[in-house]
Structure 1
């Protein structure tokens, strides 16, 4: 694997590509080759080419992913490996990569090449022009399934309607982050990470590039419905306490209505006497309020559970091995 030659006698920035991987033995070599080809074409001879490093973060793979990356590290010193002790999830793996990256700017990427390497040059150019964060926005997701597109739109609309700090729609983890932004992210201590929300929360001067999302080149996605639902819940609870405020409002409204209805019953009883109690109406009221109570308790439990995880103070991930640093 080769990268563009250094421009003799000229300073050049360093760029870290952070790539979380889990059971991707078929994809890592394709990714490295695509990055090599793209950087060769994007920075022709005579241009000041950045120094690149690829930081693969193996998130406890069960296949030969780590072994393949180790072999690649022996061939090219710009390929590096952070191997986690078990599967901690993509958010933790990405955080480990941001911590290990040494570049002046960091670009998180997916190994499936749905984050086009051809966008690296435009992102770097905007960064060199003064942007501290460069988002890559997906304007065409026709290669994704209808279910994934629909749920993604619903998620972004929901979290932006409730969130304290809206996140950019159709922007994933693929973006360029200046070293100053990475330093702030590395200081954050959340154990239930939602990196898209953190990227938005930190602010900084931001630019955007747009692209059509291509199909996956190799391997298969590791995201299933349960993981996507868990990520959505983590995203909402990590970004806002609005759901808790909603139930405060609902509780207040129900209390006002209950007091009003109680006053009506008292007045009706004094004026007309006692009616025969209705079993159906009582059951409807009990089941309705009981359901609301259970739902609100479950919602509070989600937040309390995350408080417990945070209070334990366990590390976000455990690094078992590093190569190339």
Structure 2
């Protein structure tokens, strides 16, 4: 029978894990034509998350876990899951139950029909503020306009990926990761399904507005150089405007005998040009910082424990090179 891995990144999710397991167990019992692996990625949790996962594994051999050496963030935790997942297909599912596991059978059906990436698009989003919904919509709209890669708006990580999609994602070892964009970048045959997103079943969200802003910046700088082009166009516009204004001042002074503009106008121009320069330097700095991080060539993560066995090193870039004979 085909093996399907349900990949679940978890960070301080002790309040919801038992409920999550019960619902997954119900779903898996109905899909008895498949074998399942529930792969938890413990991303440096400080509560009883890892302890609860180990208790589940004692009674259910389908449960596996990867315990990262510290908190690396959800994007990197998913990358670790891709490296350790054994399934013919991988379903990414958040632990908070905002994405309903009951959609898994429908995803599997479309996968059997030949689709490689079956992604769930949010039709409604309960439990989220209007500002979060509005800012999310604006972000996806802006990102889509700034890149040629077709992106799935209002879509999270909840999706089924065929093994060849997973193998493709495993080759992308960027340290500054925006996985939602990577799903689109690798291509393959995609299928959209709609669902109504629920509020968290328990616990508190780990994504505040500051972290969401960081993720948005990561997405923009990871998949487009459009901000750099804006800086270039804006610089050309300001320079051309300044040149035209300079010609006008010279002409007015020579032919009308008027004095050059005084202190207020000069200060306005100086401050404006200084602000443009600082903004441009900041944009360049964001990209330069990402180049700096990539040139370090550090592993994405380190694993402390995999299924109750201590791990030496990690299954990362070097593991992939070893398997390919490089």
Q: TM-score, normalised by structure 1?
A: 0.92
Say if 2:1 is the partner of 1:28: no
* Cα distance between partner residues in 1 of 2:27 and 2:192: 20
1:94 alignment partner, one of 60, 78, 89: 78
Aligned-pair CA distance for 1:286: 0.6
Cα distance 1:324–1:115, how it changes in 2: closer, same or farther (>3 A)?
farther
- Partner residue of 1:18? 7
Question: Residue by residue, what CA displacement relative to the aligned partner does 1:4-40 show, whole Å, maximum 9, x if unpaired?
Answer: xxxxxxxx21111110010111222211111001222
Partner SS, residue 304 of structure 2: strand
Bigger mean CA offset, 144-153 vs 216-225: 144-153
| Runs of 5+ unmatched residues, structure 2 | 310-326
Contact 1:164/1:239, CA 8 A, preserved across alignment? no
Aligned-pair CA distance for 1:180: 0.4
Aligned-pair CA distance for 1:232: 0.7
Structure-to-structure mapping, 1:1-325, within 5 angstroms: 12-40=1-29, 42-43=30-31, 49-323=33-307
* Cα distance between partner residues in 1 of 2:99 and 2:261: 65
- Partner residue of 2:317? none
Cα distance 1:324–1:210, how it changes in 2: closer, same or farther (>3 A)?
farther
* Cα distance between partner residues in 1 of 2:36 and 2:307: 16
Partner SS, residue 293 of structure 2: helix
Question: Residue by residue, what CA displacement relative to the aligned partner does 1:62-103 show, whole Å, maximum 9, x if unpaired?
Answer: 111111111211211110110111111110011111111010
Aligned-pair CA distance for 1:324: 6.9
Bigger mean CA offset, 227-236 vs 145-154: 145-154
* Cα distance between partner residues in 2 of 1:283 and 1:229: 33
Number of positions where the alignment pairs a residue of Structure 1 with one of Structure 2: 309
Aligned-pair CA distance for 1:153: 1.1
Contact 1:247/1:296, CA 8 A, preserved across alignment? yes
Aligned-pair CA distance for 1:165: 1.2
- TM superposition outliers: structure 1 runs of 4+ over 3 Å: none
| Runs of 5+ unmatched residues, structure 1 | 1-11
Aligned-pair CA distance for 1:189: 1.8
Q: TM-score, normalised by structure 2?
A: 0.92
* Cα distance between partner residues in 1 of 2:14 and 2:33: 29
Partner SS, residue 122 of structure 1: helix
* Cα distance between partner residues in 1 of 2:103 and 2:16: 19
Bigger mean CA offset, 302-311 vs 269-278: 269-278
* Cα distance between partner residues in 1 of 2:308 and 2:104: 23
Aligned-pair CA distance for 1:269: 2.3
* Cα distance between partner residues in 2 of 1:239 and 1:164: 9
Contact 2:249/2:260, CA 8 A, preserved across alignment? no
Contact 1:138/1:171, CA 8 A, preserved across alignment? yes
Partner SS, residue 60 of structure 1: coil
* Cα distance between partner residues in 1 of 2:199 and 2:261: 64
Aligned-pair CA distance for 1:274: 4.9
* Cα distance between partner residues in 2 of 1:166 and 1:210: 18
